[in-house]
């Protein structure tokens, strides 16, 4: 039992970027270091397969096991040497063995492989192959019309994905609706739409799923006043405009003239009309200017290391070298932008995102900002999303090639706290991690020391699925 608990603990720490596997294993002082190291490494290698098996069999629900503990046990039961402990865990795993074996067999049939190790081969979809995501531009068409159009062209529509693993089971001309985002269609990684009529006419936008999350989560109101602070080349701006149904005002800033000119062409093609483009440094935009007095929503997607972008790297983005000086400079800039954005007087919600995998540009920036801005708190985003921000900022989302089948990405949403004595202050926080963020806010609202505010689980105004 100790072996599995230790292995699960180390997998958790690796996910939280608390150290490399080797270091953590040696630091664990576990009596059989070699055995522990092998189990952690093998489980990590097969992690996407194990995750799919666990999801397909709903093992966590049936057993109350936590994800990483379930992974190491399933690994040893199906792929490794067999369960090495006795007692209740062994009995429980044996009870579910035939269902787990059947799930593994189904995955092999689907991938057309016979051996376990072939699930790891370079041709396997797990090796950094991201499906082709296509966002339907609802300013010009509807999801239904695009599906019909493609069907008439010989594409085969599979309906809505029922689990994450489905997203990479696609081949040839098959496609499906995404699991989380209604306006997103998913195709095999090899599908290229750059010369397709729907793309050239602006009816579809080729945008990775993770990059669609910021506008989707910010969900600005139709007719609202919104800022896209670092906007070019404008994929998120056109997504915001689609959600706003081209009504209201969408202020978009960027420093780079060339990127802005590309953006202008793309927005025209996408039929966006509610925007005002400005070649301006966002840090110099005056939050108290009358022009922005009605701004309630901001999307901040500042320059970052791009370490999550798979196409920029040969291997796993998480294993890259990081230049500490560059990261520090980027994080400083990101924090300045975030602090500046929170100065807009009517701001209610802000989404901060990066395509970086480094906590320095993500959780650390958000934590530092919350320390300075006690009137804002984190929103717990998409509870069903499988990859969370590093502990304790679990309200935030992360995305990766292996867990969400997207580029590496980070999203946080900040919301202005209701003034004291309003209803939301009566609710209890849901978790210790949420309390951590709220602890920082107690200096300002003394009442909260007795009754801390809830971290709101955001409800969408409209169904998106
Ligand atoms: C990650 S990209 C934005 C991508 C964009 N949100 C999209 O989805 O298409 C970051 C952008 O920030 C711009 N930028 C950097 N510093 C800036 C500043 N001080 N003010 C405004 N824009 C800035 C860069 O020129 C770059 O275009």
* CA 180 – ligand 1 centroid, Å: 26
Average pLDDT, rounded, for the chain: 86
- Residue 281 assigned to a binding site: yes
Tens of pLDDT, residue by residue over 105-153, are: 988 887 778 888 888 754 444 445 799 999 999 999 999 999 999 999 9
In this structure, the answer to whether residues 248 and 169 fall within a common structural domain is no
Query: 176 in a domain, yes or no?
Result: yes
Is residue 425 a contact partner of residue 451, using CB atoms and an 8 Å limit? yes
Model-level pTM? 0.70
In this structure, the answer to whether residues 45 and 137 fall within a common structural domain is no
pLDDT value at 428 more than 50: no
In this structure, the answer to whether residues 405 and 258 fall within a common structural domain is yes
- Residue 223 assigned to a binding site: no
233 lines ligand 1 (CB under 6 A): yes
Query: 293 in a domain, yes or no?
Result: yes
Both tokens of 194, joined, read: 């750059």
In this structure, the answer to whether residues 225 and 157 fall within a common structural domain is no
Predicted confidence band of residue 329 (pLDDT cuts 50, 70, 90): very high
pLDDT value at 265 more than 90: yes
Both tokens of 161, joined, read: 């994905």
CA distance linking residue 403 with residue 51, whole number of Å = 8
Query: 18 in a domain, yes or no?
Result: yes
CA distance linking residue 215 with residue 20, whole number of Å = 34
- For 217, 298, 386, 455, the CA distances from 418, given in Å and listed in that order, are 19, 18, 29, 11
In this structure, the answer to whether residues 373 and 281 fall within a common structural domain is yes
CA distance linking residue 163 with residue 107, whole number of Å = 13
Query: 463 in a domain, yes or no?
Result: no
Burial 261-280 (b: 16+ CB within 10 A, else e): eebbebbebbbbebbebeee
Residue ending a domain, among 206, 222, 248, is 206
In this structure, the answer to whether residues 194 and 215 fall within a common structural domain is no
Residue ending a domain, among 206, 232, 263, is 206
Is position 355 annotated as part of the catalytic site?
yes
In this structure, the answer to whether residues 141 and 112 fall within a common structural domain is no
In this structure, the answer to whether residues 143 and 62 fall within a common structural domain is no
Q: What is the pLDDT of residue 431?
A: 36
In this structure, the answer to whether residues 265 and 377 fall within a common structural domain is yes
- For 47, 58, 264, the CA distances from 135, given in Å and listed in that order, are 28, 30, 19
In this structure, the answer to whether residues 261 and 312 fall within a common structural domain is yes
Q: What is the pLDDT of residue 320?
A: 52
Catalytic residue among 274, 337, 355, 369: 355
- Residue 242 assigned to a binding site: no
306 lines ligand 1 (CB under 6 A): no
230 lines ligand 1 (CB under 6 A): yes
pLDDT value at 231 more than 80: yes
* CA 141 – ligand 1 centroid, Å: 28
DSSP 172-238: TTEEEE-SS-TTEEEE-TT---TT-HHHHTTSEEE--HHHHHHHHHH-PPTT-EEEESS-TT-HHHH
Q: What is the pLDDT of residue 419?
A: 63
Predicted confidence band of residue 463 (pLDDT cuts 50, 70, 90): very low
Tell me what ipTM this predicted complex has.
0.99
Protein residue closest via CA to atom 17 of ligand 1: 255
239 lines ligand 1 (CB under 6 A): no
In this structure, the answer to whether residues 216 and 234 fall within a common structural domain is yes
CA distance linking residue 322 with residue 342, whole number of Å = 29
In this structure, the answer to whether residues 185 and 304 fall within a common structural domain is no
Least confident stretch, 80-94, 121-135, 438-452: 438-452
Protein residue closest via CA to atom 19 of ligand 1: 281
283 lines ligand 1 (CB under 6 A): yes
Predicted confidence band of residue 44 (pLDDT cuts 50, 70, 90): confident
Residue ending a domain, among 206, 240, 257, is 206
Least confident stretch, 146-155, 179-188, 401-410: 401-410
pLDDT value at 440 more than 60: no
* CA 247 – ligand 1 centroid, Å: 23
Its domain, for residue 367, covers 210-450
- Residue 232 assigned to a binding site: yes
CATH classification of the domain holding 176 = 3.30.70.1170
CA distance linking residue 438 with residue 429, whole number of Å = 9
Per the structure, the count of domains in the chain is 3
Protein residue closest via CA to atom 27 of ligand 1: 232
- Residue 452 assigned to a binding site: no
């Amino acid at each position: 039992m100790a072996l599995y608990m230790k292995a699960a603990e180390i997998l958790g720490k690796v996910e939280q970027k608390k150290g490399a596997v080797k270091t953590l294993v040696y630091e664990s002082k576990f009596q059989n270091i070699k055995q522990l190291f092998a189990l952690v490494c093998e489980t990590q290698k097969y992690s996407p397969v194990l995750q799919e098996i666990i999801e397909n069999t709903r093992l966590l629900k049936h057993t109350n096991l936590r994800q990483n503990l379930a992974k190491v046990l399933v690994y040893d039961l199906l792929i490794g040497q067999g369960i090495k402990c006795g007692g209740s865990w062994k009995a429980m795993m044996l009870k579910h063995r035939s269902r787990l074996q059947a799930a593994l067999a189904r995955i092999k049939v689907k991938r057309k492989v016979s051996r376990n190790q072939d699930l790891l081969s370079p041709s396997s979809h797990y090796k950094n192959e991201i499906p082709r995501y296509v966002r339907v531009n609802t300013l010009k068409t509807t999801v239904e019309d695009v599906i019909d159009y493609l069907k008439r062209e010989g594409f085969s529509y599979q309906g809505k994905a029922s689990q994450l693993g489905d997203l990479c089971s696609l081949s040839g001309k098959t496609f499906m609706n995404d699991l989380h985002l209604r306006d997103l269609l998913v195709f095999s990684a090899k599908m290229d739409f750059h010369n397709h009529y729907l793309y050239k006419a602006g009816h579809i936008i080729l945008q990775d799923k993770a990059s669609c999350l910021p506008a989707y989560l910010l969900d600005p109101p139709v007719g609202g006043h919104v800022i896209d602070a670092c906007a070019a080349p404008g994929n998120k701006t056109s997504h915001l405009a689609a959600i706003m149904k081209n009504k209201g005002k969408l202020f978009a800033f960027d420093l780079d003239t060339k990127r802005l000119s590309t953006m202008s062409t793309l927005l025209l093609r996408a039929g966006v009309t509610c925007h005002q483009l400005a070649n301006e440094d966002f840090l110099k935009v005056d939050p108290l200017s009358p022009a922005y007095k009605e701004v309630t929503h901001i999307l901040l997607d500042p320059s970052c290391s791009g370490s999550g972008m798979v196409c920029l790297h040969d291997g796993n983005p998480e294993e890259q070298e990081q230049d500490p000086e560059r990261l520090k400079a980027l994080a400083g800039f990101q924090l300045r932008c975030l602090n500046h954005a929170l100065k807009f007087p009517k701001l209610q919600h802000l989404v901060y995102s990066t395509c970086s995998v480094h906590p320095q540009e993500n959780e650390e920036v958000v934590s530092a900002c919350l320390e300075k801005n006690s009137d804002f708190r984190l929103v717990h985003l998409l509870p069903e999303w499988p990859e969370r921000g590093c502990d304790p900022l679990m309200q935030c989302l992360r995305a990766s090639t292996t867990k969400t089948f997207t580029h590496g990405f980070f999203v946080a949403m900040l919301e202005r706290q209701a003034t004291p004595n309003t209803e939301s202050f009566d609710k209890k926080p849901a978790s210790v991690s949420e309390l951590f963020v709220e602890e920082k806010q107690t200096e300002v609202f003394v009442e909260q020391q007795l009754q801390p505010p809830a971290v709101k689980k955001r409800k969408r105004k409209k169904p998106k699925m």
